[in-house]
């Protein structure tokens, strides 16, 4: 059984680069600076959401090093009813709501503006990255 280490390490490097890009974007928004190309409001929120989706696709809660020699999913290894999978799914839905609802003009009491939405999304992304680490340890 051989693992595809080239794909795994490439995904890890790309995920790390996206994480650094996300951190820079959040920093710029929270310090009141305009983010190049996307601006400071809804564009920055949408860009952070797209970065988060890309990170989940490449190395997030859905991807772990599988036992069959390739990259598998946490759901395939731990199952859909495992608490880690359920929490990751709920956080993913929450992240999508944090991105989409402010863009549609719907604001929650705890997330009254796009700056707060960027902060909330950043926190959700950090928790999901932590879950990814736990998932790789368990699986």
pLDDT score at 60: 52
pTM assigned to the model? 0.81
For position 104, what pLDDT does the model report?
Answer: 87
pLDDT at 35: 87
Per-residue pLDDT at 52? 92
Domains of the chain by residue range? 5-138
64-65 and 71-72 beta bridge pairing: antiparallel
SS3 83: helix
Q: What pLDDT score does 120 carry? A: 95
Q: pLDDT tens-digit profile of 40-57?
A: 888 999 999 999 999 888
The pLDDT, as a whole number, for residue 6 is 52
Q: How far is 47 from 6, CA to CA, in rounded Å?
A: 28
Residue 65: φ, ψ to 5°: -75, 115
pLDDT of the residue at 28: 94
**For the packed helices 83-103 and 42-59, what is the interaxial angle rounded to 10 degrees?**
160
Can you say how many angstroms the Cα of residue 10 is from the centroid of all Cα atoms in its chain? 17
Output the pLDDT for position 73: 55
Q: Burial of 4 by CB count in 10 Å (0-12 exposed, 13-18 middle, 19+ buried)?
A: middle
Give the separation between CA 112 and CA 117, rounded to whole angstroms: 8
Instruction: Name the helix (H) or strand (E) containing 65.
Output: strand 64-65
Q: Which residues of the chain register pLDDT less than 50?
A: 1-2, 4, 63-71
The Cα 68–Cα 139 span in angstroms is: 12
Q: Strand pairing partners for 23?
A: none
Query: Quick one: pLDDT at residue 65?
Result: 43
Q: What is the CA radius of gyration of the chain?
A: 16
Helix (H) or strand (E) holding 32: none
Q: What mean pLDDT, rounded, does the chain reach?
A: 80
């Amino acid at each position: 059984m051989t693992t595809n280490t080239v794909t795994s390490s490439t995904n890890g490097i790309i995920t790390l680069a996206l994480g650094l890009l996300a951190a820079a974007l959040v920093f710029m928004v929270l310090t009141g600076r305009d983010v190049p190309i996307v601006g400071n409001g809804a564009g920055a929120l949408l860009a952070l959401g797209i970065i988060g989706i890309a990170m989940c696709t490449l190395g997030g809660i859905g991807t772990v090093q599988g036992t069959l020699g390739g990259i598998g999913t946490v759901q395939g290894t731990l199952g859909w009813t495992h608490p880690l999978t359920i929490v990751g799914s709920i956080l993913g839905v929450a992240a999508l709501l944090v991105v989409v609802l402010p863009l549609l003009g719907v604001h929650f009491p705890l997330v009254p503006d796009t700056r707060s939405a960027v902060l909330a999304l950043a926190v959700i992304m950090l928790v999901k990255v932590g879950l990814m680490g736990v998932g790789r340890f368990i699986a």
